[in-house]
A and B are shown apart, each in its own frame.
Chain A
Amino acid sequence: MATTAHLTLDEMRRGLGWRKQVDKLFVIVGLLIMIGCLGILAYLFLDLVHDGAQRFGWKFFANFPSRKAENAGILSPAVGTALIMVVTALVSLPVGVAAAIYLEEYAPKNWFTGIIEINVTNLAGVPSIVYGLLALGLFVYQFGLGQSILTAGLTLALLILPIVIVATRESLRAVPKAIREAAYGLGATRWEVTKDHVLPYSTGGILTGLILGLSRAIGETAPIITIGALAFIAFLPPSPFTETFPFLSFEWLKSEFTAMPIQMFNWVSRPDQAFQSNAAAAGAVLLGMTLLMNTVAIVIRYRFRKRINW
């Protein structure tokens, strides 16, 4: 940098003027690029909805996949996805919340805890198809669970476990220490403090984390393909509810299945042009569900934060 003794006032003014122009240029470039990227994505999404529009109708939602594109619908994939999500939520919620509580409230700061924390971070970065390989080797064959809804649910639960754990930890951390210490001061044990005082305040954050995790799980294709979801399923898994006592059946867990993203993948991969609009329609449904769930999660998080005044 030249020392001021060598620059005249005029030179300094010109230099500053030029640098301010660059500033303005940067703002324009940044804004353009941002609008460009968002615009490209908006165009792609709108094109998707447009391509699929001709398929939207009662037939699409109520039919099974079929060899004729006009008759092919998403009944079995939609039901399959819904059932898988039930299993995923029922597995990932308790395990994720419990792990987060342990890490946040109980774990001492030693190497053992560090290992757990490293693993949680690590697992968040593992490609989803590797979870599929794990499930194939372990759940399908080693444990003998077969290519079933149960396997798919367990795989996706493992996949979203880091999301649930991190979200739960954040919401636990947000509860002020004073609340815990007041409870301890009255003689509560650690679990009583957590169960009765910390967890109730964290439910919003936990719920948000679960919904975000499920919205990620809905769109995951690779792990479910690897464990063997088929794409031409023209039947529904057995219903969980039965006519006779005890009114609940677990047969559906062992059933073969298909899922929405698999169906879309199958339709997209066909050379037959007619199925492309089916794929687009399925994609639009998937997109809509994902956006809806994410918006709900964000709204819950926002309203929950507003209500709590420490």
Chain B
Amino acid sequence: MGRSQALNSRGAFTLLTYRKTRDRIVEFVLMLAGMVAVFTTVAIVFILLKESAAFFEHVTIREFLTGRQWTPLFADAHYGIMPLVAGTLTVTGVALAVAIPLGTIIAIYLSEFAPPRLRETVKPILELLGAVPTVVYGYFALLIVTPLLQKLMPELSGFNMLSPGLVIGVMIVPYVASLSEDAMRAVPRYMREGSYAMGATKYQTALGVVVPGAFSGIAAAYILGISRAIGETMVVAIAAGMQPNLSFNPTEPSQTITAYIVQVSLGDLPHGGIGYQSIFAAGLVLMLMTLVFNVLGFFLTRRFREAY
């Protein structure tokens, strides 16, 4: 502070009042910044509900949930969301079938078996991999993985759900591995040492003591992977095709909820028409699916949380 002359007691009092008032103002501003997060969530919910409400004035919830065709942009419009949901679930299923086993095994290896130097090298690489733009993975899926798969399975169509599913799986392996490994490392040493003292080998300790001990963190990692796979947009928009298809067969093309939203956004839609509203209804379903998995994960982690 640049005051060279001493303050009398009145001057000191005024200065203190000024500082205190300034502090209160600052605190209020900072709180507003904190509220931005709350406002964002509220805004998302508000927008989705508002436009979906408009959508459901034209479409019954029954047709929405049980209809088997999704053609909102055609002249003969159908509004059954099931084909999109089937597409999303199939792609997510393929992705998880890849990511969960591979990610967990890599995590166990890094946490229990790998020499520390190797672990220190691989973890930043995993972190970097998580930051690659998803359009790039979309390119891989369409132009590299699909032709490769077509050599193995000649009847595979150019757009299919297998290729983006596999690519998304490989894409989320770093997340699953990294988070699971963090969870496993958090298991205290003494638990492992107790197991070794009983004569168990490393893998017995890993599978019998560490993994169950880290289960809540591992489940959280899985849930994050599921959320990412469900919400993934660009890989499926590029490689899975734009035809809604009520099928769980990965060799067929299909459209996911996210790809539909992209398709509509790329076109020219008048603001306020039912086509415009349909993307918000689809988005609402997407959010509900993500919410269901997150809540599931929350209860799973709570139930299995170990107290160290």
Which residues in A have some Cβ–Cβ distance to B below 8 Å?
16, 19-20, 22-23, 26-27, 29-31, 33-34, 37-38, 40-41, 44, 47-48, 51, 94-96, 98-99, 101-103, 106-107, 115-116, 119-120, 122-123, 125-134, 136-138, 141, 158, 161-162, 165, 189-192, 212, 215-216, 218-222, 225-228, 261, 264-265, 268-269, 276, 279-280, 283, 286-287, 290-291, 294-295, 298
Q: From A220, which residue of chain B is reached at the shortest CB distance?
A: B133
Q: Is B186 an interface residue (CB 8 A)?
A: no
Whether the pair B40, A291 counts as a contact (CB closer than 8 A) is no
CB of B33 within 8 Å of the partner chain = yes
Residues of the B chain whose Cβ atoms lie less than 8 Å from the Cβ of A225:
262, 265-266
Option from A20, A23, A134, A228 in Cβ contact (under 8 Å) with B44:
A134
| A119, B258: Cβ atoms closer than 8 Å | no
Tell me the minimal C-beta distance from A295 to chain B in angstroms. Answer: 8
Known pairs A33-B102, A221-B134, A264-B135; A132 contacts B30 (CB<8 A): no
Check: B144 CB closer than 8 A to any chain A CB: yes
Q: With an 8 A cutoff between CB atoms, is B105 at the interface?
A: yes
Tell me, in angstroms, the Cα distance from A119 to B40 when the chains sit together. Answer: 9
Interface of B toward A, CB cutoff 8 Å: 19-20, 22-23, 26-27, 29-38, 40-41, 43-44, 47-48, 50-51, 102, 105-106, 108-110, 113-114, 122, 124-125, 127-129, 131-136, 138-140, 142-144, 170, 173, 199-204, 206, 224, 227, 230-234, 237-238, 258, 261-262, 265-266, 271, 279-280, 283, 286-287, 290, 294
CA distance A192 to B18 in the complex (A): 12
CB atoms of A291 and B44 under 8 A apart = no
Q: Which of A107, A222, A227, A290 contacts B234 (CB 8 A)?
A: A222
- Contact indicator A95/B41 (Cβ below 8 Å): no
With a CB–CB cut-off of 8 A, which chain B residues contact A228? 265
Closest to A38 in B: B125
Q: Is the pair B136, A294 in contact by a Cβ cutoff of 8 Å? A: no
Which residue of the partner chain B has the closest CB to A230?
Answer: B266
In contact, B139 and A27 (Cβ under 8 angstroms)? no
**Contact indicator B38/A119 (Cβ below 8 Å):** yes
| Contact of A37 with B48 at beta-carbon distance under 8 Å, contacts A30-B106, A30-B113, A287-B136 already known | no
B139 to A268, Cβ gap below 8 A? yes
B106 touches A261 (CB 8 A): no
8 contacts between A and B (CB under 8 A): A27-B109, A127-B227, A133-B47, A141-B271, A191-B27, A219-B133, A265-B138, A290-B133
Residues of B within 8 A of A161 (CB): 36-37, 40
Across the interface, which residues of A come within 8 angstroms of B227, CB to CB?
A: 125, 127
**CA of A116 to CA of B290 in the docked complex: distance in angstroms?**
20
Q: Are the C-beta atoms of B29 and A219 separated by less than 8 Å? A: no
Task: Provide the bound-state CA to CA distance between A192 and B23, in Å.
Answer: 8
Given known contacts A129-B261, A137-B50, A290 and B132 CB-to-CB distance under 8 angstroms = yes
User: With A99-B34, A134-B44, A283-B139 as given contacts, are A27 and B262 in contact (CB-CB < 8 Å)?
Assistant: no
Residue in contact with A27 in the complex, picked from B113, B138, B142, B279, CB distance below 8 Å: B113
B139 touches A279 (CB 8 A): yes
9 cross-chain pairs, A with B, having the tightest CB-CB distances, nearest first: A127-B231, A219-B133, A30-B109, A98-B33, A102-B30, A137-B47, A222-B233, A99-B33, A119-B37
Residue in A95, A189, A283 whose beta carbon sits within 8 Å of that of B135 in the complex: A283
CB-based contact A130/B36 at 8 Å: no
Q: Is there an interface contact between A122 and B27, defined as CB atoms closer than 8 Å? A: no
Give Cα A163 to B40, complex, Å: 15
**Does the CB pair B238–A269 fall under 8 Å?**
yes
A43 to B17, CA, bound (A): 65
Cα–Cα distance between A138 and B46 once the two chains are bound (Å): 10
For B32, list chain A residues within 8 Å (CB): 98
Q: Which residues of chain B come closer than 8 Å to A290, judged between CB atoms? A: 131-133
Give B211 Cβ to nearest chain A Cβ, in Å. Answer: 13
B139–A190 CB distance below 8 A: no
Contacts of A132 in B (CB 8 A): 261, 265
A44/B37 contact (C-beta < 8 A), A37-B106, A129-B261 known: no
Chain A: minimal CB distance from B227 (Å) = 5
A138 to B124, CA, bound (A): 37
Determine whether the beta carbon of B134 is less than 8 Å from that of A98.
no
Q: Which A residue's beta carbon lies closest to that of B126?
A: A38
Contacts of B22 in A (CB 8 A): 189, 191
Q: Is the CB of A120 within 8 A of B37?
A: yes
The answer to whether A133 touches B283 (Cβ under 8 A) is yes
With contact pairs A128-B233, A161-B37, A294-B131 given, residues A264 and B139 touching in the complex (Cβ less than 8 Å): yes
CB distance from A155 to the nearest CB of B (A): 11
Asked whether, in the complex, the Cβ of A34 is within 8 Å of the Cβ of B110, the reply is: yes
The one of B40, B50, B138, B203 that contacts A123, using a Cβ cutoff of 8 Å: B40
Known: A95-B36, A98-B30, A222-B262. 16 other contacts (CB 8 A): A26-B108, A34-B106, A38-B122, A101-B30, A119-B38, A123-B40, A123-B41, A125-B227, A126-B287, A129-B233, A189-B20, A219-B131, A219-B133, A222-B261, A265-B234, A268-B139
